[in-house]
Amino acid sequence: MKKYILRISILLTSMMLSSLAMADPDTYRIDNTHSFANWTIRHVASKTSGTFSDVTGKLIIDSTNLANSSVMAKINVLSVNSSHAKRDENIKKEAYLDAAKFNQMTFVSTSVSKIVTASNSSVTVNTEGVLTGNFTMHGVTKEISFPFKVLGFGSDPWGGYRIGIEAHTLIKASDYGFSWASKVGAPVGDDIEVTLLIEGVKQPAEIVIK
C-alpha cells in the first residue's frame, strides 16, 4: 500500500512539474505612462536627444524560455518631446518626420535569439537576448535586430505585477526615406541612436490586447 501511495505521489508531482514547464507565456500590456522610446541624433557639432512618450502594445513573455516570447509595439510620432516646444513642432513637419501623414511607428517581432541565462540558487531564468522583427516608420518597413535585457519583475503599489525591459539599437534615417542628412553640411545626422525603456503590466488570461 505504501509503495502504491508513493507511486501516486511521484506521478502527481511529475504532472505538476510538467504543467509548470508547459505553462503558457504571460501577456503584459505596455504601460505608456512608464515606457519611453528615447532617441539621440547629431546636431551640428554635438548631439540632441529626446523621447517619444506614447508607446503602447503588448509583450508576450515566457520567462523560462525567451525564444517563445514576442513583442508588438506602437509609437505615437506626435508624442515627440525634445524639451523645446518650437523644435518639437519643427520635427513634426514634412521636412523631418512628416507626422501629419505618418503619425505612427510600429514594431512586430518575428524571433528572439542569442538568449542569455542567469542562475540564482536553483532557479535559472532568461535575462537577455536579441529581438528581430519588422519596424515601420515613414511608410517604410525594414527588418531590424537589437539586443535587449529583462531588468526584472515585481509587484507594483496598485496590486499589479510588472516587467521591465531595456533595449538599444541604431537606425539610419535614410533607410526610411528621410533625406535631411543627404545635403553637404546638413546640421542633422543620419544615425539615430534609440534606447527603449519598456514597462509592462501583467494581464489576466481573458483580456485580449490588440
Q: What is the CATH classification number for the domain harbouring 74?
A: 2.40.128.110
Query: Do 172 and 142 touch, CB atoms closer than 8 A?
Result: no
Q: Give the per-residue pLDDT at 126.
A: 84
Closest CA to 168 of 192, 199, 133: 192
Three cell numbers written together for 137? 516608420
Q: Give the per-residue pLDDT at 210.
A: 64
Give dist(CA 80, CA 98) in Å, integer.
12
Phi, psi angle pair for 201, to nearest 5°: -110, 125
Tell me if 19 is assigned to some domain: no
Tell me if 3 is assigned to some domain: no
Tell me if 7 is assigned to some domain: no
Q: Give the per-residue pLDDT at 13.
A: 38
Q: Give the per-residue pLDDT at 24.
A: 80
Tell me if 4 is assigned to some domain: no
Q: Give the per-residue pLDDT at 131.
A: 97
Query: Do 60 and 27 touch, CB atoms closer than 8 A?
Result: yes
Give dist(CA 31, CA 161) in Å, integer.
12
Residue numbers of the domain that contains 139: 24-202
Phi, psi angle pair for 94, to nearest 5°: -60, -30
Specify the number of domains making up the chain. 1
Tens digit of pLDDT per residue, the chain (210 long)? 544 444 444 443 343 333 334 458 999 999 999 999 999 999 999 999 999 999 999 999 998 899 999 999 999 999 999 999 999 999 999 999 999 999 999 999 999 999 888 776 666 678 999 999 999 999 999 999 999 999 999 999 999 999 999 999 999 999 999 999 888 889 999 999 999 999 999 999 766 666
Antiparallel, parallel or unpaired: β 46-52 and 26-30: unpaired
Tell me if 106 is assigned to some domain: yes
Tell me if 113 is assigned to some domain: yes
Tell me if 135 is assigned to some domain: yes
Which pTM value belongs to this model?
A: 0.84
Tell me if 126 is assigned to some domain: yes
